[in-house]
Structure 1
């Protein structure tokens, strides 16, 4: 019966490419069509920070701005534009939570990021209270937990938002640090073990203000002064 219902569901809601929405074959377990998958593997990556950049750039512009970043390396699957942007917004605002599993698979099995970085933990960026209530899920936590299922690297949901903040996408670059300052706190239910290499997980990277606020609190509260922090995101830009 369960198998029949599964097949019926696939007929009514067939799997589509996460990015371009092209129908995927019924037998495939992939989340991207061949065209979008080839674009992922051919994306230009900065040798220092791992961020994608467009061909016409002379190297990664973000690296010139963040030589002293608290984040050792930032890795994104896609640039925040075109079909990639639409895909991540569908994930967030239309609640297509299965996207998290697909993105996790790309990080772990296709880009083998978690193995290369030898991570000890994933820590998702917390969601503002009003958005968490309205949306019913935190996409960053979903992504982190899906990567945990694939790698056995633990996810620690140890951060909280203390207040609602304006969406970073609606702030100017100058406003973003001020917008998130003091908005992150520790969830006192968690006691973290000693961690050496930690990945902060989020959906979109713009200026990195939110991730840096998370890292600042972790360093203060858990004495993680010598830990290395990485940032794993689906899209970079904005």
Structure 2
């Protein structure tokens, strides 16, 4: 095992599409070498706008995998980590409001990735340009288990959630109104080509439970929604 961990290409890029004012973001270093157990601080430099005026979304992409959300940092200093991201990841900004920072403590091999900074900034006086920052509501699709799987004694329900932004969302499964935790697997949030996010969640139950006619639902909570979005499925409806 190598004694050094390469955090390959920490490309801290500001994605400018849809912005209302020129604001530039740049990386301070394209590659950082750090040993497991150490602490590393990634920086995203800001120009033409204060860091206290923009929300920062840190994302990463590992070789052969889709981009995934890491943490969303708000102007009020609050933040939300993506599902599966440990509390070793802490975002912040410097006192001069010229840099966004992402501190990763106790670095592990699993942290090896390409990191991006994706800032959201909207000028208050720019509406005449038609540049309005919106928060797309998530779209949900709930699918029953495949008949082929049911014959094996198991039944997996699939909840696909897409087109949401920012990339932090809560997915909960219920059976006849009661929360289900056993048999649940929710994947990491991924970044889609249109810069919105998507995630898949699965609930696996015994085929006999599925066949009993119980009513299963997938419930999502997101800041763009006034109330949680819930969809239902049961064997009787299929």
Coarse TM-score class (shorter-chain normalised):
under 0.3
Considering only CA atoms, is the larger Rg found in Structure 1 or Structure 2? 2
Structure with the larger helix share: 1
Alignment TM-score, normalising by the size of structure 1: 0.22
Higher relative contact order (CA 8 A, sep 6+): 1
